[in-house]
Structure 1
């Protein structure tokens, strides 16, 4: 079974994920309200996000090689990071140390470098290996449901991963926080790599947050 999947993003008025200052407090408050079992993120988004956790990447310590002890009542979500190319080697401890995640589960493919797989094994990271070249997201989500019991996963990622999720019909809802800014020509479209057109949506919720942000939630209608 595939977990319910929600795309959650903060965007500018003209549909960009960059070129404006998102309100991270609002973004993560609304995201945490879903109480997801896991948050899925692409490797490029994760690498860019390291700047929010630390100005300089700290060296690894002994504890970074150990799987954290998770309490049964821990409300935090796991992070599912898709990284078939292994670009996060040397950075994974930044995410494991985050106060916002229980631990990290890495999604890799058959083409993922063995050196990166060994890096994950040496540090006791769980990983799901599926897909010949790139990660087979559908199968990875099925495994996450079977292995960890994940029932709700929220995508907090950029346009590439979100486009893949939509392209493969995996998304049930889209949650958008509209920021009152216009990014213009330097912006990056939310679904910039989505090839298919005509995805139909039904508005489920519209809410004004902190008097200036609009939170829209849509159901993705099945074809």
Structure 2
């Protein structure tokens, strides 16, 4: 069992998601649509979190010490919704135990140190540690469902996180808001990025709805077609 997972992203017409660039095109509509998706925990990667989350104190090198080396789960407190961060090597340092009004939950790999997890524990922050070299996303989603009661999850950034979840076959719905503008800069991250397995391409979708907003934004919602 796993949560129902929605990738919800605002993009330029050319599919780029750089936050400052998209922010110049529109911001409020993104959060209005996010609310319309219904109650759900929000998940983002380390880069997006470091850029946007005020609960982050700093981003630094991983703490040294003995690696955990095993799956570990700590529930600091139960909640209807969580602010979830994928931080493979434990580079983020925190100055609060919640963000956007919800408890922080860190998903890390088993490479992080025992010291880092003890720091999270002392700060009242929950964690899931699994995967020897990289996070085992399917297993982490099972833990979210079983231990934290997460039934709906929205991925809110960034491109490599969305790509990783897509490649793992975990995304149930794709919610895309196309803002009326073009980025065009070379090397900018796309909404789904970093997939290396050529046999995965393409991922087929089924269009569920289209909305045109007064601001010029078009909101597209798709279901993933996992039978193909």
For the aligned pair, the TM-score class normalised by the smaller chain equals 0.7 to 0.9
> Match of 1:141?
141
Distance 1:109 1:68 in 2: 21
> Match of 1:159?
159
Q: What is the number of equivalent residue pairs in this alignment?
A: 203
Q: Does 1:201 align with 2:210?
A: no
The 3-state SS of whatever aligns with 2:92 is coil
Does the CA-based 8 Å contact 1:10-1:22 persist in structure 2?
Answer: no
Distance 1:107 1:134 in 2: 11
Determine which of 84, 88, 93 is the counterpart of 1:84: 88
> Match of 1:173?
173
The 3-state SS of whatever aligns with 2:185 is helix
Distance 2:113 2:95 in 1: 16
Q: Superposition pairs for residues 25-64 of structure 1, below 5 Å?
A: 25-50=28-53, 53=54
Distance 2:25 2:152 in 1: 24
Does the CA-based 8 Å contact 2:43-2:84 persist in structure 1?
Answer: yes
The 3-state SS of whatever aligns with 1:184 is coil
> Match of 2:64?
none
> Match of 2:67?
none
Deviation (angstroms), 1:117 = 1.0
RMSD: 2.3
Deviation (angstroms), 1:12 = 0.1
TM-score, normalising length: structure 2: 0.81
Q: Superposition pairs for residues 111-122 of structure 1, below 5 Å?
A: 111-122=111-122
Distance 1:36 1:2 in 2: 16
TM-score, normalising length: structure 1: 0.83
Instruction: Render the CA deviation track for 1:100-151: whole Å, top value 9, x for unaligned.
Output: 2321111112101223212101112111111112211111111111112211
Instruction: Render the CA deviation track for 1:67-124: whole Å, top value 9, x for unaligned.
Output: 7896xxx7xx3111111211112x352x72x3x2321111112101223212101112
